[in-house]
A and B are shown apart, each in its own frame.
Chain A
């Protein structure tokens, strides 16, 4: 068993860390406060190939397998303090994965270049006001009329939604005889389509540079060839793509934890109280040791998930465990980091309070921690 990165992966990882550290972190306190999407940084990341990591080279992407993509995103999470930007890139990547796995040749030709180059911003429109994890309660309806589909309904909290050029929208087939798992289908809806409205960004506690909002569909006409996959395939697609999403989000969280760990070690070595560095007090050093343990354990689980996906195997259990463990560890690490930094940690200037605000969402999006536990317990037979 070889746990080391190869030379190519080490070079890639280091180049992303250097890029992110130098190019993506300026004026972030102000931009976070304003809640603004930083277009120039989006473009820089896209130019770096970070919006199309798993998309094949023939469509302008990097053609990376999941395990390599995880290394890249962990490096990005470590170097880039703008977690909203990284979240936006992962959303973009997952839309690309869905089209890659289930889209028609026409859809791939039409959209994957734009997604890989970052010129088209993509959003995944699944969540509704009354349908989060309970997808069976989905209300958005779609009806087939001649050679078109007509969409009606609304989606909420959609990442990249307010700025999306392209939305992958899930809806229940009205005329379908099917109920339950096979009743949902997915459609590509482009900006400018009649009856498609992108609402303004919602104000959030954290991840403020990420744009989340409501998408509304009113008698929205979608051409027949905008159906992704087949009718009724929506939830099957969702479960394939969610493995990617949970793995990539976890990789980002690992990177952030690595950065926080180092900041805590630095501070614990340099800050002296009662005549010695505070890191010499066990109540401080134990917190830091726990962060390190969680990073190492989380990474092992996540890389196992990446390896499974590279082998074309399912990794639902492994991605759920990774998502649960790493996001909860991140939230705890951010809280402890503030405690270690004391009053300084509570100040905006130290940028740890923003990490804490951003981390709260990590145990909510892509399936809450409670849902991950339901999945895990279900998969072990309970």
Chain B
């Protein structure tokens, strides 16, 4: 499974409860739509770090890196390559 699909599946199963009306694609705005709220970010970060063996640094904790599945995938790809 690609990084993008792993992330998408996690968001689908863990964060889309009671948000069934939102259609999730690679560019869906996760922060603006509230898919990634406080608890969502707190759940997603440990998932990313444990699944992909990365550490997201303080400087990378910015909205641009979490605004869509595409953005999160890019961040993970960058981290796994470095």
Contacts and interface: CB of A to CB of B under 8 A. Distances in A.
Interface of A: 101-102, 135-136, 178-182, 229-230, 232-233, 235-237, 239-240, 312-314, 316-317, 374-375, 378-379, 381
B32 A378 contact: no
A178 B63 contact: yes
Closest 3 CB pairs of A and B: A182-B63, A236-B61, A232-B63
A232 B62 contact: yes
Contact of B63 (A181, A374, A379): A181
5 contacts: A229-B62, A230-B62, A233-B63, A240-B61, A316-B46
Contacts of B63: 178, 181-182, 232-233, 236
A204 to B, nearest CB: 27
B37 interface: yes
Contact of B33 (A180, A235, A379): A180
Interface in B18-44: 31-34, 36-43
Interface of B: 14, 31-34, 36-43, 45-46, 49, 55, 58, 61-63, 66-67
Contact of A181 (B37, B55, B58): B37
A312 B55 CA distance: 8
B14 A180 contact: no
Contacts, number: 71
B58 A240 contact: yes
Contacts of B67: 182
B43 A378 contact: yes
Contacts of A314: 45-46, 49
B20 to A, nearest CB: 17
Contact of A179 (B32, B39, B41, B55): B32
B31 A179 contact: yes
Contacts of B31: 178-182
A235 B42 contact: no
B16 to A, nearest CB: 13
A236 B36 CA distance: 12
Given A178-B31, A179-B31, A379 B42 contact: yes
Given A233-B62, A378-B43, 6 more contacts: A182-B63, A239-B42, A314-B46, A316-B46, A317-B46, A379-B43
